[in-house]
Amino acid sequence: MKLASVRLPIVTIDGPAGAGKSTAARWLAYTIQFKLIDTGALYRSLALMAMEKNVAFDDEFKLAELCKNLNVQFGNLELPVYPDKDAIPQVKIFCNSIDVTESIRSPEMGMAASNVSKLPAVREALLQLQRDFGAQGGIVMEGRDIGTVIFPEAEVKFYLEASVESRASRRQLELKQAGVELSYEQILKETKARDDQDMNRKIAPLKKASDAIVIDSTSKSFDDVVTLMASKVRDYIRKN
């Protein structure tokens, strides 16, 4: 007897910086036991590598060359050993075997990642890498263009948004928890600048896929967002 092979869906989560994608994606992947791929970490790792090798963030040719040696690996999602009420599943990120989990998270690396991500040769170089990560299905992949460019055929797509003010407040809290103190005004300005850059770049700008399920997290708890997402994925699996 031949067993039917079950291919689990590709789940995409796109949306602007600070809408809660990362937290929602981690909880969703943890809840449904899918692998998590944070594509922003690829652009951040590239930016970090460029900084260490003194390559300018607008040197398209050299950055595309660096992509050839970019080997990013994601660990499994794990809850902290003694989780407090705000703990979220953690994932280790390695770039060329070096643990970059913390070092890629600074606001500077966020903006640098946004800068390198504008360049067509960089996006082209990272496209296949992202498709390879997801080819088997059973993944939650979060980013800006996953449901539109990387996996336009993905089975379940989400677009997570929130007001710019609430995104800035959330970012401030996250940074504070990581020991970085920045004023709300400064973060609001940076969030608006990053939105502008991510939404208005020429290639693969952040936009909603026409078949994405849009969730506004401004006045929703993460629990509600994740419960809604998990139920949509389970509905899909049940029906297919």
Residues that bind ligand DC (CB under 6 A): 17, 39-40, 43-44, 110, 113-114, 117, 143-146, 194, 198
Q: With contact defined as beta carbons under 8 Å apart, do 205 and 120 qualify? A: no
Least distance in Å: CB of 203 to ligand DC?
A: 9
The distance of closest approach from Cβ of residue 112 to ligand DC in the complex, given in angstroms and rounded to an integer, is 9
Considering the complex, state which of residue 6 and residue 201 has its C-beta at the smaller distance from ligand DC.
201
Q: Side-chain half-sphere of 38: how many Cα atoms within 13 Å?
A: 29
What are the DSSP calls for 163-185, one per residue?
Answer: -HHHHHHHHHHHHHHTT----HH
Q: Which is nearer to ligand DC, 23 or 117 (CB)?
A: 117
Identify which of residues 34 and 151 has a Cβ nearer to ligand DC in the complex: 151
Token representation of residue 155: 């089975």
Closest distance to ligand DC from the beta carbon of 146 (Å): 6
Give DSSP secondary structure letters for 4-44: PPPPPPEEEEE--TTSSHHHHHHHHHHHHT-EEEETHHHHH
Based on CB atoms, which residue is closest to ligand DC, 27 or 43?
43
- 134 secondary structure, DSSP code: H
Minimum distance, C-beta of residue 189 to ligand DC, in the bound complex (Å): 15
Q: Which is nearer to ligand DC, 1 or 70 (CB)?
A: 70
Q: What's the closest the beta carbon of residue 207 comes to ligand DC, in angstroms?
A: 12
The two three-digit tokens of residue 187, written as one number: 């973060």
What per-residue string of b and e applies to 25-63 under the rule 16 or more CB within 10 Å gives b? bbbbbbbbebbbbbbbbbbbbbbbbbeeeebebeeeeeb
Whose Cβ is closer to ligand DC: residue 32's or residue 171's?
A: 171
Which residue matches tokens 């939105």?
A: 195
The nearest distance, CB 239 to ligand DC, in angstroms, is 28
b/e 152-170 (16+ beta carbons within 10 angstroms → b): eebbbbbbbbbebebbbbb
